[in-house]
Amino acid sequence: MPSDYDIVIVGAGILGLSCAYYLKKGNPGKTILVVDRFGDVAQGNSARSNAMFRNTFTSKDNLILSDTSIDFYLDTQKSGVDLGLKKSGYLWVMSEKQFSLNQRYIQKMLDNKIELRTYDNQDLRRMLPSLKREFGESEEAQLMKIPDVGGAAFGVKCGRLDPEKLSRFYSDNFLRLGGKVAFNTNVKSLIAGVDEPLGIEGEPFVWQEGKVTGILAEGEIKGEIKAKTVVIAAGVWNNELLDPIGIDGHVKAKKRQLFTVSAKRSPALQTLLRNGNFNELGVLPFVILPKSGCYVKAVEENSEFWLGCEDEFNRPYYSTPEETLDSCKAEPSYYEQSLYPILRSYFSEFENAKPAQMWAGYYSMNTLDSMPFVFEENGMIIAGGGSGSGIMKGDAMGRIVDAVYREGEHAEAMLYSGKSYAADRMSFKYRSVEREEWVI
């Protein structure tokens, strides 16, 4: 392999690979290398993802990033590429208070032409009969402050996909265009150099234009690899490379866990899974319960549910997580004591259900506003901050990185469906993303 490239991309997750594809497509004459310390595509947090997608956002930035990405994924699958995509919908079940408070956000989304339906308790009784909506004097419900159900909102252009298939789609097309990928290659550090080196020992000096001039690699590729531009798409590991050269990566890692429950031996769970009232697939949509962001995902081909929860308080942040995800494990007690009591309160079908499998990964949280970013700094383009929605915005992010590469931070990126987007909205210097209000 050569040791000199126009662009080196660190990270072969969904984000790095989407960047790789659009950079190569937009700049066919440039030499581009993707490196990753794992042995295949999407083995980091992309592999551990719930991989749900939705366009139901109030923030116009979130909306355009997700909506155009989803359109691209839908059309790609329609063209014959299997992305494991299922448009099964999202159902937010809300307490009376949430339902009432969120009406203005629902209206805002409807005004923005987002396909969103609302259901009252009568509808829910008919469409999702086993959902418990009232808890009366139940001691447990009172202890846990489980609220009665007040209504629900259903997002139509929402569902799930297979992050590995999507990553492989980008990777295959990148390779087909002549890009190079090196797996099992760890980037030990970035090389801090200067724009115009003088060859004097001790460079870069403060009076010189400092820039990252490449990477120091170990593994299948070793030693110094020079690059005119380095794209950092290393997810929760961005800080590992950026901290040592004094650049703020703006991310912190937060653990998230998923648990599967098999429906194979439970007729009640089978009935819950096969619900024909919401989508053409005849399957239960992704259900978010009114308490603690607890959710249920139906995976009909495996006859199972994936279960999770969005815990924030007392769940630590990590600035630089360990190099692999080996010690990032799901906690059985989290299922038993936190998730399960909420779940079986709303769906008695889960009574005594034990997880068959469990795993954990990290959200790459942008703690400023939980929105993704793309910014330029000293010869690098740094992308990340997916904050739990990096898959659903992955296509748009790759296109934005390509636009920033060609035209700088003020580029007007052309997203799928011909929609344009001012890339500097996602930078830090000129940041102007609209905050998200649809947070239940």
What is the token pair recorded at 20?
């790789």
Tell me, what amino acid is at 235? G
Contact status, residue 222 vs residue 1, Cβ threshold 8 Å: no
Closest approach of Cβ 34 to ligand FAD, in Å? 9
Q: Is 187 in the site for ligand FAD (CB under 6 A)?
A: yes
Q: According to CB under 6 A, which one of 23, 45, 93, 272 is a site residue for ligand FAD?
A: 45
Q: Is 77 in the site for ligand FAD (CB under 6 A)?
A: no
Q: Is 59 in the site for ligand FAD (CB under 6 A)?
A: no
Q: According to CB under 6 A, which one of 7, 9, 34, 52 is a site residue for ligand FAD?
A: 52
Contact status, residue 324 vs residue 39, Cβ threshold 8 Å: no
Tell me, what amino acid is at 341? P
Q: Is 44 in the site for ligand FAD (CB under 6 A)?
A: yes
Q: Hey, how many other C-beta atoms are within 10 angstroms of the C-beta on 72?
A: 20
Closest approach of Cβ 126 to ligand FAD, in Å? 28
Q: According to CB under 6 A, which one of 234, 247, 298, 343 is a site residue for ligand FAD?
A: 234
Q: According to CB under 6 A, which one of 151, 285, 361, 398 is a site residue for ligand FAD?
A: 361
Angle of the 163-176 helix axis to the 14-26 helix axis, nearest 10: 30
Distance CA 229, CA 232 (A): 10
Q: Which residue is nearest to ligand FAD (CB)?
A: 390
Closest approach of Cβ 294 to ligand FAD, in Å? 14
Q: Which of 80, 90, 72, 86 is nearest to 160 (CA)?
A: 86
Q: Is 55 in the site for ligand FAD (CB under 6 A)?
A: no
Q: Which of 270, 274, 282 is nearest to 350 (CA)?
A: 270
Angle of the 60-78 helix axis to the 394-407 helix axis, nearest 10: 110
Cis peptide preceding 316, ω within 30 of 0: no
Q: According to CB under 6 A, which one of 7, 8, 9, 15 is a site residue for ligand FAD?
A: 15
Q: Is 186 in the site for ligand FAD (CB under 6 A)?
A: yes
Of residues 258 and 433, the one with the C-beta less far from ligand FAD:
258
Burial environment of residue 386 by CB neighbours within 10 A (0 to 12, 13 to 18, 19 or more) = buried
Binding-site size for ligand FAD (CB under 6 A) equals: 42
Distance CA 371, CA 379 (A): 23
Q: According to CB under 6 A, which one of 38, 72, 295, 405 is a site residue for ligand FAD?
A: 38
Tell me, what amino acid is at 56? T
Closest approach of Cβ 141 to ligand FAD, in Å? 27
Q: Is 392 in the site for ligand FAD (CB under 6 A)?
A: yes
Q: Is 309 in the site for ligand FAD (CB under 6 A)?
A: no
Binding footprint of ligand FAD on the chain (CB under 6 A): 10-16, 35-38, 42-46, 48-52, 186-187, 233-235, 237, 240-241, 256, 258, 361-364, 384, 386, 388-392
